[in-house]
Chains A and B, each alone.
Chain A
């Protein structure tokens, strides 16, 4: 028994040690630093209470980042789910090359946000604009990334391109777990395809929709890489009478605040992001509990 106890401790030690060093300690430091005047320069850090959070409350650029992050997330939830659902119907149909299509639609997910940001920057700023000039289509001639009114939508389209194939896989797994006899029975009863999808398929996939909802919610809220290389926050616009960056989402706002050596303020913004994600996670846990009860 003694020996097995030593083994147990040795077995959990590496992960627990890394976990404490990399997550737990920085987390509590992070909460503390959000209430200090930390600048990243020098070693002296003074406690200032909630001053940084008060600064955020008076900062239009932070409000703006928060609002567009919520907007970006909402558009993503809609776009990603609709596109992924259509793709999942396609790749579970009787098409001959359905496995090939399924494999292809998933490829964008494998490309990291940094790389695909540059690729789409080229597509949107060069290819589409060239196409607009060549065919004299007026609205294509200015890049969608250069207008404050279109840039968030454009980022959502790129985000959908990246994640749709992944969410599609989750939907496909859900569709395949529905007994095929159910759909056949409805078919025999004379229900047409649309009725079958809305009355049988979608209700049976409720679980998969919940998973996809929370995945899209959390990934959109934390989006950084694609934002960084696709738009770098631009173009400039005005909000509540102050100049702001039209596509600077929360995670990027944190990054650029820290880059300007306003570390404590960046840390306070990060804590706000954490609280928002915590609320989402609690909602998810409640949703899962409710489902278990229903089952």
Chain B
């Protein structure tokens, strides 16, 4: 009897304490974003005099944004377009080619398919730092040999993202395709479907949930990636990405926080907006990607 009474009287204050602690933690986690937003609406002078206060005039936010997009040294709008194009093209190429490859590796039980699969998986251990400088040199050599410009172009960087992104993506697709019953494909083959059509008409549509995972894992990485683009595209090349543009601002306008912070705000915004709408998929995708 006594225990029951205790548990009733104890639960309530506990929940209140938990709620308060959580709210404090949540605010601590969000402060960096809040500081970016309020200081993006200040002039450089205002930030130096009072970085913590709310801005005097929120209209300054639009002034800062337009000075970012109209900046003479950094083509921020161009970087925005390039980042979007590179991310989308890479995602399309990675998800189609990796799923095709994984399907063949699962459905063909040969020594070759095992060797290939193991090669893809073990390559994930190799850190980017070992590959980056030889890669650039190799891209220059093989590009001039094949007569394709691989450095400083969309083609080159999308191809590089296919190379770096496919091992993990093949691994994830591989695990998913293993659990698709073979009977579905067999009946299609009996009906006269070619192997290629069986894949594109029957198997590919079934992959939809795992494609979302692959898109999210690769999308977050590619959008925010810095080293590969800066090495392949150069820090002042014709094609730029947003992280390169943000570092260009920070380098060109040392400690001019109004410009730097506004540029980070614009860099974050698309990802956060996407997250608000696709939160459920993103969280599910991240969990599935990590557990595998």
Interface residues of A (CB under 8 A from B): 3-4, 7-8, 10-12, 14-16, 18-19, 21-27, 29-31, 33, 40, 87, 90, 93-95, 101-116, 118-120, 122-123, 126-127, 130-131, 134, 161, 165-166, 169-170, 172-173, 190, 211, 215, 222, 224-225, 228-229, 251, 254-255, 258, 263, 266-267, 269-271, 273-274, 277-278, 281
Contact status A127-B101, CB under 8 Å? no
- A-B CB pair tally, cutoff 8 Å: 241
Contact status A114-B195, CB under 8 Å? no
| B291 located at the interface, meaning its Cβ lies under 8 Å from any Cβ of chain A in the complex | yes
CA distance A211 to B194 in the complex (A): 41
Interface segment out of the listed B54-62, B65-73, B206-214, B271-279: B271-279
CA distance A113 to B142 in the complex (A): 31
| B3 located at the interface, meaning its Cβ lies under 8 Å from any Cβ of chain A in the complex | yes
Contact status B29-A12, CB under 8 Å? no
CB B199 to nearest CB in A, in angstroms, measures 7
Contact status A122-B261, CB under 8 Å? yes
CB A184 to nearest CB in B, in angstroms, measures 13
Sorting the interface of chain B by its residue count into under 10, 10 to 19, 20 to 34 or 35 or more gives 35 or more
Contact status A22-B159, CB under 8 Å? yes
Q: Identify the closest chain B residue to A122 (Cβ).
A: B257
Pick the 10 closest A-B CB pairs, nearest first: A22-B163, A112-B224, A29-B134, A18-B163, A15-B101, A26-B135, A26-B134, A14-B97, A18-B162, A7-B195
A-B contact pairs, 30 of them (CB 8 A): A12-B100, A14-B101, A15-B120, A19-B120, A19-B166, A22-B159, A22-B162, A22-B163, A23-B126, A26-B134, A27-B126, A27-B131, A30-B133, A95-B18, A101-B26, A103-B283, A108-B32, A110-B275, A114-B224, A114-B243, A115-B264, A118-B250, A119-B32, A119-B261, A165-B29, A170-B291, A255-B129, A270-B127, A270-B130, A277-B125
Q: Identify the closest chain A residue to B250 (Cβ).
A: A118
CB A75 to nearest CB in B, in angstroms, measures 19
| B184 located at the interface, meaning its Cβ lies under 8 Å from any Cβ of chain A in the complex | no
CB B123 to nearest CB in A, in angstroms, measures 5
Q: Identify the closest chain B residue to A4 (Cβ).
A: B195
CB-CB under 8 A for A166 and B18, given A23-B131, A40-B133, A103-B279: no
Chain B, 209-228, contact with A by CB distance < 8 Å: what is the 0/1 string? Answer: 00000000000100111110
Q: Name B's interface SS.
A: helix
Contact status A277-B22, CB under 8 Å? no
Contacting residues, chain B, for A101 (C-beta < 8 A):
22, 26
Name the contact of A161 in the complex, choosing from B32, B137, B162 (C-beta under 8 A): B32
CB A91 to nearest CB in B, in angstroms, measures 9
Name the contact of B30 in the complex, choosing from A104, A113, A255, A263 (C-beta under 8 A): A104
Interface residues of B (CB under 8 A from A): 3, 15, 18-19, 21-22, 25-26, 29-33, 35-36, 39, 47, 50-52, 93, 97-98, 100-101, 103-105, 108, 116, 119-120, 123, 125-131, 133-135, 137-138, 142, 159-160, 162-164, 166-167, 170, 194-196, 199, 220, 223-227, 243, 246-247, 250, 257, 260-261, 264, 267-268, 271-272, 275, 279, 282-283, 286-287, 290-291
CB-CB under 8 A for A14 and B100, given A26-B138, A101-B26: yes
CA distance A101 to B135 in the complex (A): 42
Contact status A15-B18, CB under 8 Å? no
Other contacts beyond A3-B195, A12-B104, A114-B246: 20, CB < 8 A: A8-B108, A12-B116, A15-B101, A19-B123, A21-B138, A23-B131, A23-B164, A23-B167, A26-B131, A104-B30, A105-B29, A110-B268, A118-B261, A123-B31, A126-B257, A130-B51, A190-B3, A274-B125, A274-B126, A274-B130
Contact status B271-A110, CB under 8 Å? yes
Q: Identify the closest chain B residue to A99 (Cβ).
A: B279
Contact status A211-B167, CB under 8 Å? no
Q: Name A's interface SS.
A: helix
Contact status A18-B283, CB under 8 Å? no
Contacting residues, chain B, for A215 (C-beta < 8 A):
290
Contact status B166-A127, CB under 8 Å? no
CA distance A40 to B283 in the complex (A): 42
Contact status A11-B103, CB under 8 Å? yes
CB-CB under 8 A for A29 and B26, given A15-B162, A119-B264: no
Contacting residues, chain A, for B287 (C-beta < 8 A):
169-170, 172-173
CB-CB under 8 A for A225 and B32, given A19-B166, A95-B22: no
Contacting residues, chain A, for B125 (C-beta < 8 A):
274, 277-278, 281
